[in-house]
Structure 1
Amino acid sequence: MGNTKSFLYRQRFGYGLGDFACNLIWQMISLYLLYFYTDIMKLNAASIAVMFIVCRIIDAVTDVLVGFAIDKTRTRWGKSRPWFLFGAVPFAVAALLAFSVPDISPDGKLVYAYVTYIFLSFMYTVVNIPLASILPTLTDDMNERTVLATWRKFFAFMGSTIVSATALYLVKMVGNGNEAVGFRVVMGIFGVAGCVCFLLTFALVRENNLSQTEKSATLKETIQSAAHNTPWKLFALNILFMWTGYFIQSSALVYYYKYYVRSAKMATMVATVMTMVPMVANLTVPFLAKRLGKRNLYSVSAGLQLAGLAVIFIGNVNTSVILAGAVISAAGYGCKESIYFSMQADPVDYGEWKTGIQTTGTLSAINGFLGKVAQAAAGGISGLLLSWGAYDADAVHQTANALTAIKMMYIYIPALLIICSIITMSFYHLDKEFPQIQKELGERRKVQNK
């Protein structure tokens, strides 16, 4: 069954729907959660920065435990698939609650923000980590993994594009000028859509490449296996650079175009460009990866993204130049993120080859946690910069310091982190070794499954 064309396309579609669902919520968090907290819930920016950090400390425990639980899961549906089924509804509920404003005191609202944000972070872990952990079990073919990752990111960008292009318009339309009501209703709609998509993902994908090793590793052995996995450690360090830059820039987008460029419409236009262009650029990844290799494609794409930021910087407040820079940056980002998700599965196989322990769930969990650390760092840095700049949500014009802080968030810091990312990945050499590793793993699995 796993080799028929109809099955392959069904599985690719199902796998893509999972990230479509994630990004309906993820993009709302990335673009609008900080704005929602400061301008709608009227919470203090410094308090929000602390909250992001506290929540990530909690995630440090929950993410690893969920990943380890995936590695220990044994059902007729596989290891990762059941998590889509049982996580779909709670994930939708958590999203709705996080974007709701209760009629309580300011201190009560801060407590509510803590509780709902922690709940949403946990449920995101429950449904998102399996999207990464399931990839090595869907196929052992390197090219098919890239194709699956491409479908995943195509749908992810589609979900992000829907949010970027419609969310603020929908908030305004259904809220009739009341942004609190608008955000709650819109998040409810996206939550229901995401829930349906995860149920379809569960129905359409199959785990065909599970290693039937007799050894059941303990958490300690699993972590020790990760500690000896050099390609994964490089990949993990890169996660911090890649996603911190992404989240800082995303959270600054509304502020940058509203206050620095002085064009609120540009915020929607650029947000849409940053999701639509990657969706198209992403389609070139299977072709380019075969010719350049995964690591090289990642570095070239990151360089293109950096060049786009340089154009935006040079453009200053010239909207035509800014849009050109956004297109260039988005094209690089689209290819980079797609190949990143394809690369994510390879260190798992390397670890199994080197130590005999398959840690797909745990490594995916730690990767996911590092992404959340990056999100927390971005939220903390953004909150502190806005606080340093004396950002005033009620002011029509911001202070010079506030504008400097916003520009640092949107251009300077992301550019620096992209450079750090390129340097880190220059030490990643798994592409050359991978065909031989896969060959040896395949032979081992044949013996184990007899």
Structure 2
Amino acid sequence: MSGQTDKPISKWQQRIGYGVSDLACNLIWQMISLYLLFFYTDIMQLSASAISLMFILTRFVDGITDLLVGYLIDHTHTRWGKSRPYFLFGAVPFALFAFLCFNVPDISANGKLIYAYITYFGLSLAYTVVNVPMASILPSLTNDTEERTALSTSRKFFGFMGATVVSSSALVLVNYFGKGNQAVGFKIVMAIFGVIGCLLFFFTFFSVRETAATKAEKVSVKEIFTSLKQNKPWLIFALNILFMWTGFFIQTSALVYYYTVVVGSRALSISVATIMSIVPMVANFFVPFLAKRLGKRNLYVSASIIQALGIVIILLGNINHGIILSGAVVSAIGYGVKESIYFSMQADPVDYGEWKTGVNVSGSLSAINGFLGKVAQALSGGIAGALLAWGNYTPGAAAQSSQAVLAIKAMYGYIPLLLIIGSIVTMLFYQLDSIYPQIKQELEAKREA
């Protein structure tokens, strides 16, 4: 059994250790999600269309590496387990490439673009190495579905904490360290968050144990895809990933633009970003209680409706700060609950696949989920860049064209709303919750035998 050479740990130590991995991830990746597009267009003066193409190409190429890492995890067998070693060896490259993305040298425009391609791809690859194991390790930490929800809740609590730190402090720290030079400020802040994130991943490695019974034989690529093809709950879940994360990424990338250009208050973007981090962190505590009573699918759908309502309130609020902040709170409640239960749900199709086909492919399934997330990120980056180019957005201009304003509104509100509706409709077909107790019982009997 994996992890038996390590010193035993308590349930709460493992919950904290697992949760801290998402704190580490968010300290780094939230900087990328919130500010990298803005950094490229407004500070490095790279064209929006060129960055749009870069996001699309890099994301699709990087998505292949997700599948590779997942395959490697399924074929990794060490005294530390299958997924756990990747936290140890991926932490430093992840932090290093994040720093390099915000440390663009003073060279020609084409040189800067080539540099952006190299460092952004390197960052995405390093992110894959530490992020795919965060999902693939969950079935190996426990067989208990309620404990999986508790672990996922812990993960999202710390994840939202990391997002809160970045959204509430990053721009303030950029101004403080940059002293008027935003390029220097972003470089220093990313270095600080990168070092902290790296140390936190080390803490995760030493604080979790892969002790749950899982099948350890090697699985061929053909067996992996045969198993996934027969996994109807995962196929539905996978389609939902595209709706959920495309909406999330495109709205996140539009945050600074929307509140600067449409609302006329860049400072309000900090307040909204902070709300979107703190409120989910609080709402996250209620997820285990609500999931037990409503079921995971029903809770996901209900939370999505609340999130959509919040976005509608923000849009109707126009430039009224009070209404906007109220809508942000409502949207944040829905988003926080939805994302937390989403990560808990990821582990259940793994069990369904093993029950249905006899093959456990947690690494590959998590990797394909990650690949779809990268596709969503590519789509959102491409759509965002294309819309900014279509709207003739002018970086740093005091006034933007009505077409640019419409493009930014679409990025922040209209498109995310449509994708949330698509997500809700898709998840209505997800029926795993009703048969999961039977699956769990039969799997446990088979593992004991």
Question: C-alpha distance in 2, partners of 1:212/1:121?
Answer: 29
CA positional deviation for 1:446? 1.5
Partner of 2:48: 45
Alignment of 1:209-358 (within 5 A): 209-213=212-216, 215-358=217-360
| Moved segments of 4+, more than 6 Å | none
Partner of 2:69: 66
- Tell me, yes or no, if structure 1 residue 150 matches structure 2 residue 153: yes
5 and 84 in structure 1: CA distance in 2 versus 1, 3 angstrom threshold:
closer
- Tell me, yes or no, if structure 1 residue 172 matches structure 2 residue 156: no
Partner of 1:424: 426
Question: C-alpha distance in 1, partners of 2:368/2:279?
Answer: 29
Question: C-alpha distance in 1, partners of 2:22/2:343?
Answer: 11
Question: C-alpha distance in 1, partners of 2:108/2:417?
Answer: 40
Question: C-alpha distance in 1, partners of 2:91/2:396?
Answer: 37
Partner of 2:138: 135
Question: C-alpha distance in 2, partners of 1:392/1:148?
Answer: 45
Question: C-alpha distance in 1, partners of 2:128/2:264?
Answer: 37
CA positional deviation for 1:227? 1.3
CA positional deviation for 1:187? 0.4
Alignment of 1:110-129 (within 5 A): 110-129=113-132
Letter in 1 for 2:329: V
1:79 to 69, 77, 82: 82
Partner of 1:192: 195
Question: C-alpha distance in 2, partners of 1:212/1:101?
Answer: 46
* 1:391 match: secondary structure: coil
- Counting matched residue pairs gives 445
Letter in 2 for 1:127: V
**Sequence identity of aligned pairs in percent?**
62
Q: Summarize deviations over 1:119-146 as a string: whole Å, max 9, x none.
A: 0000000000000000000001010000
CA positional deviation for 1:60? 2.8
1:162 to 158, 162, 165: 165
Question: C-alpha distance in 1, partners of 2:327/2:55?
Answer: 30
Structure 2 unmatched ranges of 5 or more: none
Q: Summarize deviations over 1:70-122 as a string: whole Å, max 9, x none.
A: 00000000000000011111111011011112111100000000000000000
Contact conserved, 2:317 with 2:324, CA < 8 A, in 1?
Answer: yes
Question: C-alpha distance in 2, partners of 1:30/1:86?
Answer: 23
What TM-score does the superposition give when structure 1 sets the normalisation length?
0.97
- Tell me, yes or no, if structure 1 residue 108 matches structure 2 residue 111: yes
Contact conserved, 2:21 with 2:155, CA < 8 A, in 1?
Answer: yes
Question: C-alpha distance in 2, partners of 1:61/1:242?
Answer: 20
Task: Give RMSD over aligned pairs.
Answer: 1.3
Deviates more, 1:21-30 or 1:149-158: 21-30
Question: C-alpha distance in 2, partners of 1:43/1:297?
Answer: 42
Deviates more, 1:44-53 or 1:216-225: 216-225
2:369 to 360, 367, 370: 367
Letter in 1 for 2:332: A
Letter in 2 for 1:162: V
Letter in 1 for 2:123: L
CA positional deviation for 1:443? 1.3
